A = this chain, B = another copy of it.
Amino acid sequence: MSNFFELMKIDDFIQLASKQMNKNITEEIVQITEVLDRIVTKDIFSPVNLPNFTRSVMDGYAVIAKDTYGANENIPVFLECVSEVKMGEEAHQAIQSGQCIKVATGGMLPINANAVVMIEDTEEISSSEIEISQAVAEKDNIVLKGEDLEKGELLLKKGHRIRPQDIGALAGIGMTRIPVYKKLNVAVFSTGDELIPPEKEPALGEIRDINSYAITSFVKQAKANVEMCGIIKDDHETLLNAIKSKLTDYDMILLSGGSSVGTRDLTIQVLETLEKESILAHGVAIKPGKPTILSYIQKTLIIGLPGHPASSIVVFKNVVEPLLQVMSGEINPLQQQSKKVIKAKLNRNIVSDKGRDEFIRVFVEQDNHELIAHPILGKSSLITTLVKANGLLKCPIGYEGISKDEIVTIELFS
C-alpha cells in the first residue's frame, strides 16, 4: 500500500496541537459545591489560620504539661478541675498550675493550657478532682492555631485539578467561590451518507451512527462539555456550514467518520476552504487510526477521526484525551503514572506494525492468582472488539511484536 500521506508520531502530533492552542482558555468563578474536577487558575493561599484557635484532638483534660511530669499509673498526679470547655464556644477561663479544665475533641484550649491528657488516662475522683495517670509533653493531643494551614500558606497550585479533599480544605478556610478555568467545549459530528440515528430502523445499505455516541461519551468522561451535533452528509457545503457554525463557541470539533479516501479528501478540502493553511497534519503513526487529520482554524482545534469505531476510539484515548488535558489547563506531573495500568501475562504471540505505535485491544482476566491478557482480534470496524476489551496494550514504533508469556503493561479503560 502506498503511503499517500506523511505519518506524524503521536507525541509530535500532541505537541503541535497544544502549541497552537493560544491559551484562550478563560477563568470563571464557581461555587464550592460545583467545583469538583475543575482546574484552579491561580495559586490559592489561605486567607485565615486553620484552625483559628488551638484545639484539643482528644476527649480529656486541658493541662499545663509540666504539672503532669512524672505521672504514671503507680504514682498519679491530682489536678483540680475548675471548669469545662463547651463545644463551639470560646474558652474564657484560664488555668493555673495545678488546675485542669475538661475539654472534648475539637474544643478550644483554655488560656495557659498547652496539652491535653486523654480521658482514658484519667479518673474522676470527684467533680473537682481528677487523677492523671499518664504524663504528657507540651503540645500533646492538641492542634495549634494555624497548624493545618497558616494564614498566607499555599493550599492549591495553579493548574491543580480539584479533588474531594481539596474541597474539604477550601470549605475549612471559607473559600466558597473558586477561580477555575472554563470547561472546554467540544462539538462532535459524525459524517457519512450511510449513517442514520440509532432510533431509526436501517434500510439495506444504512447503518446506525455508533461513533457520535461513543466519542461523545468519551469526551464526557474527560470532563469537558460536549455537544453531540448529529450526522452530516458527505457534502462540501453541508460540512463547511457545520464546521463554521461551531468555530466561535467551541474549543475543539471532532469529526468522526470519513474512513474512505474520498471523505477524508472532502474533509481536507473543506478545512482548506475555511483557512488555506489550516491542516497541521494528516496521518498519525498509530494503528489503528492512521487517517487522522489535525487542523486549527481561528481558535478551534479540529480533529478528523477515522470512521471505523475501534480506530476512532484508539485515537481518542491516545491523542484526543491527552490533548483535552493539556488544553484544560491541568498541570499534573504524575499524569502518566496516574493512569489505570496493570501488569498481565500475554497469552499468545502478537505481531505488530513496526512503523507505528500499535494499540492492541485486550481483555485482562484473573486466572487463579495471575492476570492474563487476551488480545481481542478483529477488524477495527467492529465496535464489539472494544466492548469485549477492558484495556489497550501498546506495542511502540520499532517493535515487531510481543511474545507469548511476556509480562505486559496494559492501560485499562476507566
Contacts and interface: CB of A to CB of B under 8 A. Distances in A.
Contacts of A259: 57, 105-106
Interface string A211-250: 1111111101100000010000010000000000000000
A126 interface: no
A152 interface: no
Nearest to A194: B88
Given A176-B199, A340-B340, 20 more contacts: A33-B213, A36-B217, A88-B195, A89-B205, A108-B205, A143-B382, A164-B218, A164-B221, A168-B210, A168-B217, A169-B383, A169-B387, A171-B198, A171-B208, A171-B210, A172-B309, A337-B366, A337-B412, A338-B390, A339-B340
Contact of A213 (B32, B85, B105, B206): B32
Interface string A285-322: 00000000000000000000001110001000000000
A203 interface: yes
Contacts of A275: none
A309 B168 contact: yes
Contacts of A207: 51-52, 55, 106, 172
Nearest to A160: B387
Given A87-B192, A194-B107, A213 B168 contact: yes
Contacts of A215: 164, 168
Interface residues of A, number: 110
Given A104-B260, A261-B119, A364-B334, A167 B214 contact: yes
A413 interface: yes
Q: How many copies does the complex hold?
A: 2
Contacts of A202: 52, 174
A368 interface: no
A235 to B, nearest CB: 11
A193 B334 CA distance: 40
A57 B379 contact: yes
B87 A173 contact: no
A197 to B, nearest CB: 8
A43 B173 CA distance: 48
A164 B214 contact: yes
19 contacts: A1-B118, A36-B220, A52-B207, A86-B193, A87-B194, A88-B193, A91-B204, A105-B308, A148-B384, A164-B216, A165-B413, A167-B213, A168-B210, A171-B209, A171-B213, A172-B208, A337-B342, A337-B371, A337-B412
Nearest to A218: B164
A405 interface: no
A123 to B, nearest CB: 12
Contacts of A1: 118, 120-121
Q: Which of A164, A216, A234, A313 has the most CB of B within 10 A?
A: A164
A387 B166 contact: yes
Contacts of A175: 198
Interface string A90-129: 1100000000000011111000000000111100000000
A366 B249 CA distance: 38
A85 to B, nearest CB: 8
Contact of A87 (B147, B176, B199, B234): B234
A106 B192 contact: yes
Contacts of A262: 59, 104
Nearest to A381: B57
A300 to B, nearest CB: 23
A341 B386 CA distance: 23
